Structure 1
Amino acid sequence: MRITAVQRNENENRIRAAMDRLLRGEIPPGGKCDVKTLAREAGVDRTAFYGNRPYTHLRAEFERRLQDLQQAGEIPDPREAQIARLKTENAKLKERLTESEQTIAELTDFRAQALARLAAQHEEILRLRESVAGTSRVSPLPPRSTVIGTRS
């Protein structure tokens, strides 16, 4: 079915109005900032945007404007913006997790080294006590409770 020039002009105006709404972030429930939603909002068949159909230039304009907004850091679709934000947050959390795991590994290694040093020092103290015990001229004092004449 052929459309008249007036109908085509009206369709283009509806498409441009829908395009502006979508690119401002006015996404209808269940829709996205894409050609399918653009066609539905404008009330035109989606196939009219592809091949050598009458509105391919409007699809190209829509995609170019959407890409320009995305390159400028603006994402008109709130869901797409949320997805981008969550992906960034996920990447940061993965980085923090990797850093935490590395820190835990370093601290575990440090703990093992510290325990080994303490054990070696304890062994050295015991060895020194044994070596001093046999050669010392100092006699040990009796326990305090058996010492006569001590003041409390």
Structure 2
Amino acid sequence: MRISQAQRTENENRIRAAMDRLLRGEIPPGGKCDIKTLAHEAGVDRTAFDGTRPYAHLRTEFERRLQALQQLGKIPEPREAQIIRLKDENAKLRERLATSEQTIDELTDFRTQTLARLAAQHEGIVHLRESAAGTGRVSSLAAPRTTVIGSCS
């Protein structure tokens, strides 16, 4: 069934309005920023955007504008933006986890070395105490004799 020029113009206006909404990020629930959602939002058949169909030039325009936004770092689709944000957050968390694991390993090694040193010091103290206690006889030295000079008897 052929459509009139007025109907075609009306359809193109609806498609352009839907295109603008989608590219601003106004994505309907369950939709994406793609041709299928564009066709649904504009109320036209999706196949009208294929090949040599009447709205193929609008598909090209939509894809060009979408790609331009993506190159600028602006992603109109909240779902895609959320996926990118979550991937970045996941990478940061993996880095933090690796750093934490390294710190835990270093602290575990430090603890092991410290306990070994404390055990060695304790053994040294016990040995010194035993050797001091083992010498039951302590000899005291006699005091030196003092002689008085200058007295004759």
TM (norm. structure 1) is: 0.78
Matches of 2:136 and 2:51 in 1, distance apart?
104
Do residues 112 (structure 1) and 115 (structure 2) align? no
More moved, 76-85 vs 95-104: 76-85
Matches of 1:121 and 1:136 in 2, distance apart?
24
Q: Deviations over 1:107-140 (max 9, x none)?
A: 111111111111112122222333343358659x
Question: Which residue of structure 1 aligns with residue 103 of structure 2?
Answer: 103
Structure 1 residues 138 and 73, CA gap change in structure 2 (3 angstroms): farther
Runs of 4+ in 1 over 3 A off after TM superposition: 131-139
TM (norm. structure 2) is: 0.78
Higher alpha-carbon Rg: 2
Structure 1 residues 64 and 137, CA gap change in structure 2 (3 angstroms): farther
Secondary structure (helix, strand or coil) at the match of 2:30 reads coil
Structure 1: 5+ residue stretches without partners? 140-152
Count the aligned residue pairs.
Answer: 139
For 1:36, give the aligned amino acid.
Answer: K
For 2:11, give the aligned amino acid.
Answer: N
Matches of 2:131 and 2:61 in 1, distance apart?
92
Q: Aligned-pair RMSD on alpha carbons?
A: 2.2
Q: Deviations over 1:60-118 (max 9, x none)?
A: 22122112212222222222222222222222112211211111111111111111111
Question: Which residue of structure 2 aligns with residue 73 of structure 1?
Answer: 73
Question: Which residue of structure 1 aligns with residue 45 of structure 2?
Answer: 45
Q: Deviations over 1:40-72 (max 9, x none)?
A: 011111112223322222112212211221222
Secondary structure (helix, strand or coil) at the match of 1:8 reads helix
Matches of 2:89 and 2:113 in 1, distance apart?
36
Structure 2: 5+ residue stretches without partners? 140-153
Do residues 131 (structure 1) and 131 (structure 2) align? yes
Residues 27-66 of structure 1: matches in 2 within 5 Å?
Answer: 27-66=27-66
